[in-house]
Structure 1
Amino acid sequence: MKRRQFLAAAGVAAGSTTLARPAIAQANPEIRWRLSSGFPKSLDTLYGANEVFSRYVSDATDGRFQVQHFAAGEIVGMPQAFDAVSNGTVEMVQAPGYYYYGKDPTFAVFADIPFGLNARQKHAWMTHGGGNELVNTFLARYNVHAVPYGNTGTQMGGWFRKEIKTVADLQGLKFRIAGLAGQVMQKLGVVPQQIPGGDVYPALERGTIDAAEWVGPYDDEKLGFNKVAPFYYYPGFWEGGPTVHLMINKAKWEELPKAYKAIVEAAASHANMDMLAKYDARNPAALRRLVAGGAQLRPFPQEIMEAALKAANETYDEISAKNEDFKRMYEHLRAFRNEEYLWFQVAEYSFDSFMIRARARG
């Protein structure tokens, strides 16, 4: 190649490279978003999902998409967080829907309801059963788009100052439990109390409340409930598989490049599974420590479980008669649950039951 031809070719190549750079920058813009959590940083597994998510998004975009996360109250308080994402004050919020049960009981269905789905079933309903499509149809009126963002697995039934043997023992019991679960338990004589996490321990210690539910051994251990309420009941039948959602301002979501949307969804899915895995890995040792420290494990009596199930079904019928959104989502979830337990009874339950009996035999 002659020198003049070589320089001309090099000039074309250089020009092509120069032209490509703005196109790449336009397709992958620099974005800075804020994420407000509904949890304090001390709940490192729940709040830690934000660290997992933000790191993934940054790594996948070579740092061009940055998400700064904040604990509850640092930007906005938990009760106001949904409104903040709805009106665009913040781009994203981490919260379970039942925090906003007061707006509409439908919010509880996609977070968790008494006698709903376990964690695996909930994940299946959300991702392959049409659940999250229903969630986003409902949330669109609030200018919010949501993706599943975590699950604790079945929670514990809570800490009680006295032993509970019959439904009669629930009469007048002041129980820190909120939302739809509180409404169900109220039918059994419980007096629901809505108390922030930081105030639960002193309320139990003073006897202002008689019982409190929180999450499970790993998180409960940090709060020292076993020192003031020794009876630790299970299961938390009102939270068999509670889903935490990443709620995104819908207008901001729609502005994202297609590649960034895919990265957000992948990062949220990673955080979702990571949270459940952490709880499953950390709860066993925490439970052992709690029992060693004086916690007395007790299953809820069958009488209470049956009465609570009856009360829950009555509550769902009552709400469904007045709220079409709740009815639509609940009936969809219930149909999915019935099919799931047909399958789980055949394989999962029989395998788990055998292994649990084998472990008990030593």
Structure 2
Amino acid sequence: MHPRFFAPVVALALLVAGCRKSSAPGYERLRAQLLREAFDALNGRAPDRAQILLGRLEDLSPDQPFWRLASAHEEERGRLTELNRLVETGRFEEASAYVRSQTTETGASGALARATGLPEALQALRVYVNAPAPTTSRTARNALQSLESHSAVLTVSPTFVRWQQAEMSKYVAMRDSEQTERVTRLLSTYDQAVVTGMDTEAALKQFRKEAPEHPIVSFGEQVRKGRWSDLVKAAQQPGDGRAAIEILACQHWPNLPQRVSSWAGRATAPYRTTAGALVHALVRAERGDLAPTRGVLTELGEELQLADRYTSYFLEVGVLPRGQFTASCWRAPCPSVTDILNRIVQVREHSQAKGK
């Protein structure tokens, strides 16, 4: 080639080569650039741009499943982000509709599919938390039951499980406290019915209705069948066994088996019931031991109107036989139990003095 043509040809070749090199980046360089931009989009919470970039990466490497999986993951994350936004703003109905549309219309699966029922569960939980604190165990139980239909979703959270256990413990404590108060009230009613001679059947019927598991119910059935044998042993166990046997012994006194009568005579304070103190005093008086029972009966007589059968029995059995009433007339037209007992002691001391 002639020298004067060589220089222009070389220059043209260099120009063409330079233009071809700067026209587009190489494959590896382009992929690295797209990957960097996709990472920045993901890190900057730009899901739409991240999806576009991941799609381009998938086009560059169609045989690599990573980009397809990453794109699907980012798409699901976008759905969950939208769901969280609706839930956080309290738009539970919209959140439910969104989950249904994404799972049925677009066929979304994975975490979003597992979130089916979550908005409804969170709505029920919000209603529970915002409701006034329950004042009875029944309302507490009903409130907890309102969450049971959502347990499959809510119990996925360990935090919810711990919270639910704490709420259940509060309910159990409230229920047990109410049961204790109920039994105390029922025992008091039954106790006073026995001591004052009122309707004991009505009191027992109420016991069967409100506290059917209480020992006094099962003990009462055994007594009606004449089975007193195990009751004294049961009365020595923890719980309300002693209160039950005290009331039943007083109710069925003086028709008591020897073992029960002996137990009542040996029983010491503190008594669980008024009937327990009374039957102890009567059994001791039956044996002629008036002195230690005088104070007990006096105190009971001041607090309660004793049934006539107890007062009459105390007067007649071994203490004041008919025909020995030698003291002066009563000053009060209707003497109280205290007056009667004081008079009994007076007559007994007078009789003992004459015997000497």
What TM-score comes out, normalization by structure 1 length?
Answer: 0.24
What TM-score comes out, normalization by structure 2 length?
Answer: 0.24
Higher strand proportion (structure 1 or 2) = 1
Larger Rg: 2
Higher relative contact order (CA 8 A, sep 6+): 1
